[in-house]
DNA sequence: TATGATACCTACAAAAATGTATGTAATGGC
DNA sequence: GCCATTACATACATTTTTGTAGGTATCATA
């Protein structure tokens, strides 16, 4: 993560939004790749390298960053095995798993929205 | 909105994530102030100035930007009255309103997460 | 004629998020 | 001794998001 200026308006606004449990929740899941990671882990525990393969376009840096944040926020757990070459496994925590049904609902809403949009577009043709 | 470089990896990744209906949904609601606006409008149609008063820390520029995006994405509707001084009202659309129960669920999850975190912290005291 | 009200707009600046390129440790097998 | 493997770390560059400061149009009213 890049450094953050503690007293910028930007940063203060972020803190202000943390007070609301809704925007707080969005802050926790809002990173670009976080939900994809969560959905992968919902299918089962995975190693770093497996995640990298599954999430096609993510870079190692981004994967690491998002994993670190998810871990810091308690949505996933990180298990390191003292082996060489290293083996690190990531698993959803309870609270992380509780986000999954909401993701499903969001997925459904996204699907609906998309059909809505393309549906509106198709009305142009008759 | 600021200009966007169509062919940056950043931009291409955004498009890639648009393919998934889950991350697509998050893109639609992910702006910093968007959900606060939606929740306000869920209480009823509101004028620009009312929103500004309700959402304490938002600047006019940000309010305008987020409203424009929400409108472009069909989550809210904008009604202009030909009066002086101008009067503009914003209302949730159907698809926008369908996001509300999901926001409620997210709010609940946020509350749970927060109590989880502070709960863990409090275990330090005994 | 000046002022206030409302809902913006614009140029610019700052901050944050994301991506690129390269390097590292440890160890087993060749 | 050299290489491959894995899960990162680090410095840096680019892109995007957010915030700052000022301005605009219209018309009724003072």
Residue nearest to nucleotide C4 (CA to C1'): B85
Write down the pLDDT at residue B122: 54
- Residue in chain B lying closest to A97 (CA): B109
Write down the pLDDT at residue A17: 97
Q: Which residue has the higher pLDDT, B84 or B39?
A: B39
Is 60 exceeded by the pLDDT of residue B23? yes
As a whole number of angstroms, the distance between CA B39 and CA B97 comes to 9
As a whole number of angstroms, the distance between CA B91 and CA B47 comes to 9
Tell the CATH topology of B33-125. Answer: Arc Repressor Mutant, subunit A (1.10.10)
HEC assignment per residue over A15-34: HHHHCCHHHHHHHHHCCCCH
Write down the pLDDT at residue B77: 98
Write down the pLDDT at residue A75: 98
Among B26-30, B82-86, B102-106, the minimum mean pLDDT is found in: B82-86
Q: Is B72 on the interface with A (CB under 8 A)?
A: no
Q: Is B8 on the interface with A (CB under 8 A)?
A: no
Q: Is the dihedral of CA B29, A42, B21, B91 positive or negative?
A: negative
Tell the CATH topology of A9-96. Answer: Arc Repressor Mutant, subunit A (1.10.10)
* pLDDT tens-place string over residues A106-123: 999 999 999 988 876 655
Q: Is the dihedral of CA A96, A98, A103, A104 positive or negative?
A: positive
Supply B3's token pair.
């200009």
Q: How far is CA B82 from the centre of its chain?
A: 27
- Separation between the CA of A7 and the C1’ of C3 (whole angstroms): 37
Asked if the Cβ of residue B61 lies within 7 A of any atom of strand D, the reply is yes
Q: Is the dihedral of CA B82, B87, B93, B96 positive or negative?
A: positive
Question: Where does chain B have alpha helices with state H?
Answer: 9-18, 21-29, 34-42, 48-54, 60-72, 94-97, 100-122
Chain A residues within 8 A of B56 when measuring between CB atoms:
16
Beta strand B76-81 with A87-92 is: unpaired
* pLDDT tens-place string over residues B36-74: 999 999 999 999 999 999 999 999 999 999 999 999 999
As a whole number of angstroms, the distance between CA A93 and CA A42 comes to 10
Write down the pLDDT at residue A119: 75
- Residue in chain A lying closest to B35 (CA): A23
Which bases of strand C have any atom within 7 Å of the beta carbon of a protein residue? Answer: 4-22, 25-28
- Mean pLDDT for all residues in chain A: 92
The residue of B22, B73, B107, B120 whose CB has the most chain A CBs within 10 angstroms, and thus the best one to mutate to test that interface, is B22
Which bases of strand D have any atom within 7 Å of the beta carbon of a protein residue? Answer: 4-23, 25-28
- Give the minimum alpha-carbon distance from B52 to chain A in angstroms, rounded to a whole number: 15
Q: Is B81 on the interface with A (CB under 8 A)?
A: no
Chain A residues within 8 A of B114 when measuring between CB atoms:
21, 24
- Parts of chain B belonging to CATH 1.10.10.10: 33-125
Write down the pLDDT at residue A117: 83
Q: Is A122 on the interface with B (CB under 8 A)?
A: no
- Mean pLDDT for all residues in chain B: 92
Chain A residues within 8 A of B106 when measuring between CB atoms:
22, 25-26, 102
Supply B115's token pair.
């109590």
Q: Is B26 on the interface with A (CB under 8 A)?
A: yes
């Amino acid at each position: 993560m890049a450094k953050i200026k503690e007293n910028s308006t930007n940063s203060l606004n972020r803190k202000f939004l943390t007070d609301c449990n809704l925007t707080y929740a969005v802050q926790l899941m809002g990173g670009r790749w976080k939900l994809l990671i969560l959905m992968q882990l919902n299918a089962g525990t995975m190693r770093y390298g497996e995640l990298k393969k599954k999430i096609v376009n993510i870079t190692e840096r981004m994967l690491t960053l998002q994993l670190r944040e998810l871990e810091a926020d308690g949505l996933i757990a990180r298990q390191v095995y003292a082996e060489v070459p290293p083996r690190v496994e990531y698993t959803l925590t309870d609270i992380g798993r509780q986000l999954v049904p909401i993701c499903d609902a969001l997925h459904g809403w996204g699907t609906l929205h998309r059909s809505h949009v393309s549906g509106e577009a198709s009305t142009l043709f008759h």
